[in-house]
Amino acid sequence: MARLKLFGSSISGNCLKPRWVAERLAIPFDWVEMDIIAGATRQPEFLSLNPSGQVPLAVLADRRVLAQSNAIMLHLAEGSDLVPADAFDRAKMYEWLFWEQYSHEPTIAVRRWRRAYLKQSDADLDPALLTKGQAALSRMDNALEGRRYLVGDRLSLADVALVAYTRWAPEGGFDLDGLPRLTTWIAHVERALGLPPTR
Amino acid sequence: MARLKLFGSSISGNCLKPRWVAERLAIPFDWVEMDIIAGATRQPEFLSLNPSGQVPLAVLADRRVLAQSNAIMLHLAEGSDLVPADAFDRAKMYEWLFWEQYSHEPTIAVRRWRRAYLKQSDADLDPALLTKGQAALSRMDNALEGRRYLVGDRLSLADVALVAYTRWAPEGGFDLDGLPRLTTWIAHVERALGLPPTR
């Protein structure tokens, strides 16, 4: 019988997000490692599944296809304790998920990618990536005042989505040292997800 | 008794999205028009509500605050027919909502803003905004083949979110003329939402 198939790259935080959710919820899945640097997502076979050529991509057990890391997470986690039962908390989780894709990933993940994988020098990188990304990290640090998790009092998809690139922010040249609530939260979410500590 | 308050600008598609949802679902609300060009979102009173200085912002009847246009829509529309009852259709709606914020708004809305409101000339605008935005419009046109709506067989938040800036794409210098399925869909969603036709 077919089971969930996740196409992704292990160096992409976006790809790891649905993987972590499947692992935590004990959803059986096959992982298809995609070499995004070698252009695996541009091969005809993959493009026939996802014309946008993006990973992660989920092929569900019934062979239907779903893209967008946060949409895949929401689908896999529906009805689980990773989605807050309270309507307002659930809405705040959505707020973090959209903020992550609009204001966090395009600065922090993009600068990490260009710096750590495309080997661009700091001088060649748009300075706005650093200032906007650092502001996003400060915003998270402020939001975590007096809290263990971003939403409510337990782990939710908001934490899963945001830890993915926040824990790797130093690879993008971002400084976490002045953000003690954020570093405490990173370590805490890493433990909750069974990830090796980055610090 | 307090009721929903929506802070927004009528020239912002992101702000109109939750307004349209409230109107369609007959949720009573007060609209607070924000002059974003004059810097209304940078005033201390507003920043005390939303430190990020962004609209739309919803202050719920119980005075709790919610940001991010798509998160506000999801909260207001929960349990309504704007959210598909089928789990896979609901996931595809999420997919479109995240795609909208990551790949559509940052090109189409941004180029419209810079061109129509900041009065930047085409020569001064990053050429990638035009090519990426036009590719996003083509992707929508392809997805609408044989369909009246983006997801399932009825209007959903995916249509509401995506029509907001798609109908204004010509103000950003984007060409809709070669995209007949898209222009048919725009007119159809505008009618469903009771909006004046843009074409």
Q: Supply the pLDDT for residue A8.
A: 98
**Residue B1's pLDDT band (cuts 50, 70, 90):** low
Determine the residue among A47, A50, A74, A98 to mutate to test chain B binding: the one whose Cβ has the most chain B Cβ atoms within 10 Å.
A98
Select the residue from B49, B52, B68 to test the A interface by mutation, using most A Cβ atoms within 10 A. Answer: B68
pLDDT for A1 equals 63
pLDDT in tens, B121-144: 999 999 999 999 999 999 999 999
pLDDT of residue A133: 98
pLDDT at B52: 86
Q: What pLDDT was estimated at residue B114?
A: 97
| Chain B residues within an 8 Å CB radius of A64 | 88
Closest residue in B to A88 (Cα) is: B75
What domains appear along chain B, each with residue ranges and CATH number?
A: 4-77 (3.40.30.10), 87-193 (1.20.1050.10)
Q: pLDDT at position B101, please?
A: 97
Report DSSP letters for B18-43, one per residue.
HHHHHHHTT--EEEEE--TTTTGGGS
DSSP per residue, chain A:
---EEEEE-TT-HHHHHHHHHHHHTT--EEEEE--TTTTGGGSHHHHHH-TT--S-EEE-TTS-EEESHHHHHHHHHTTSTTS-SSHHHHHHHHHHHHHIIIIIIIIIIHHHIIIIIS---GGGS-HHHHHHHHHHHHHHHHHTTT-SSSSTTS--HHHHHHHHHHTTGGGGT---TT-HHHHHHHHHHHHHHTPPP--
Task: Say how far apart CA B2 and CA A166 lie, in whole Å.
Answer: 38
Calculate mean pLDDT across residues B45-57: 94
Check A98 against B139: CB less than 8 A apart.
Answer: no
Closest chain B residue to A92, measured at CA:
B66
Contact A66 B106 (CB under 8 A): no
Q: Is the full-model pTM beyond 0.80?
A: yes
- Tokens 């976006």 -> residue: A14
Of A128, A99, A9, give the one whose Cα is nearest residue B102: A99
Q: What pLDDT shows up at residue B72?
A: 98
Report the candidate in B57, B157, B15, B98 with the shortest Cα–Cα distance to residue A104: B98
Mean pLDDT computed over every residue of chain B: 97
To the nearest whole Å, the CA of A105 is away from the closest chain B CA by: 9
- The interface predicted TM-score of the complex, written ipTM, equals 0.97
* Cβ count within 10 A of residue A104: 23
Write the residue in A64, A71, A91 that is nearest to B98 by C-beta.
A71
pLDDT digits (tens), chain A, 199 positions: 689 999 999 999 999 999 999 999 999 999 999 999 999 999 999 999 998 899 999 999 999 999 999 999 999 999 999 999 999 999 999 999 999 999 999 999 999 999 999 999 999 999 999 999 999 999 999 999 999 999 999 999 999 999 999 999 999 999 999 999 999 999 999 999 999 999 8
